[in-house]
Structure 1
Amino acid sequence: MQVVKKITALETYIVRQEVLRKGKPIETCHFNGDDATTTTHFGLFENENIIGVVSVFKTNSLLFSEKTQFQIRGMAVLENFQSKGYGEQLLKAAENFCWQEKAHLIWFNAREKAVSFYKKSGYTVLGDSFNIPDVGIHFVMFKKN
């Protein structure tokens, strides 16, 4: 059985490094704003083992005019657990949290290979792709409440 619960930024690193920063130093797993009081981290656990993470930052993007915005970052599920619905579970938990916090809009920078995953959950691509050095091609995606 899987359970999603709030965790610390530090607890996200093991999954972030394995999935998002493979082969890079653990320091690259720290994101600006990770330790802010307005940032919330979630872990997906199976039998007490963390298998996925997502972080929610109360951050506005200048691309949107909505007053209350949240950014999803560091969404990752360990490779052995991918394509089993766990990503949707994590995303839903993050969304529910944002809507409860009165978000008008959720946005993020999605990796090129994850765009179709997010589209299935109702997110829309905004604009053209862009490159994040040492990480890859991304697209801005969003969903309004």
Structure 2
Amino acid sequence: MGTTESYKTLLISTEQTYDLRDRVLRGPRPPESIYYPGDEVETTFHVGVVQGDRVLSNGTFMKQSHPHFPDSKSTYRLRGMATDPEFQGQGFGQLVINAALEELKLRKADLIWFNGRTSAEAFYRKLGFLVEDEIFDIPGAGPHKVMYKSLV
């Protein structure tokens, strides 16, 4: 996938995503919220920026359609995008997204979508994602919008 200095961007295991999901994303939700339905499905993959044994940033990408995109034939959803607070703002999230976009093209995906926190909207727009106007609340996680990017 790629290397930047002593950091590697690569495919990681489901288990390697749990630490950041728990520390960065879970908040007041129950501990089992770090496990996503579909984590272990063959078409799901996880990308991480890793330094030694430490995952600095990661995201999960699972094949899942969305009713807003009925014409898409191979749609993937991003879940669990998280960067260790100590390393936020250093480009590691962008490395995860860029590596995932490469992998999605290899898998012949035509669209990626996700429910993104409104606080991260500028980050995703900078990476070329489009954002729907409607804001909705995910209990325990706050306001979100559907964000997406065509891969064709």
* TM-score, normalised with respect to structure 1: 0.94
Q: Match for residue 20 of structure 1?
A: 25
Contact 1:43 1:51 in 2 (8 A): yes
Q: Percentage identity across aligned positions?
A: 34
Give the AA of the match of 2:75. Answer: Q
Large movers: runs of 4+ above 2 Å? 22-26
Give the AA of the match of 1:40. Answer: F
Contact 2:27 2:140 in 1 (8 A): no
Q: Can you list the C-alpha shifts for 1:72-102, whole angstroms capped at 9, x where unaligned?
A: 1111000000000111001101111111111
Contact 2:28 2:140 in 1 (8 A): no
| Aligned equivalent of 2:91, options 82, 85, 88 | 85
Taking the aligned partners of 1:46 and 1:23, their CA distance within structure 2 comes to 28
Taking the aligned partners of 2:130 and 2:58, their CA distance within structure 1 comes to 22
| Aligned equivalent of 1:70, options 76, 83, 86 | 76
| Aligned equivalent of 1:6, options 1, 5, 11 | 11
Worse-matched range after superposition: 5-14 or 74-83: 5-14
Gapped regions of structure 1 (runs ≥ 5): none
Q: Match for residue 51 of structure 1?
A: 56
Q: Can you list the C-alpha shifts for 1:84-136, whole angstroms capped at 9, x where unaligned?
A: 01110011011111111111111111011111100000000123011111111
Contact 1:112 1:139 in 2 (8 A): yes
* TM-score, normalised with respect to structure 2: 0.90
Contact 1:17 1:24 in 2 (8 A): no
Q: How many residues align?
A: 145
Q: Can you list the C-alpha shifts for 1:27-74, whole angstroms capped at 9, x where unaligned?
A: 110111111111111221123321111101011111102111111111
Taking the aligned partners of 2:31 and 2:76, their CA distance within structure 1 comes to 25
Taking the aligned partners of 2:149 and 2:117, their CA distance within structure 1 comes to 16
Taking the aligned partners of 1:109 and 1:100, their CA distance within structure 2 comes to 23
Gapped regions of structure 2 (runs ≥ 5): 1-5
Taking the aligned partners of 2:29 and 2:132, their CA distance within structure 1 comes to 29
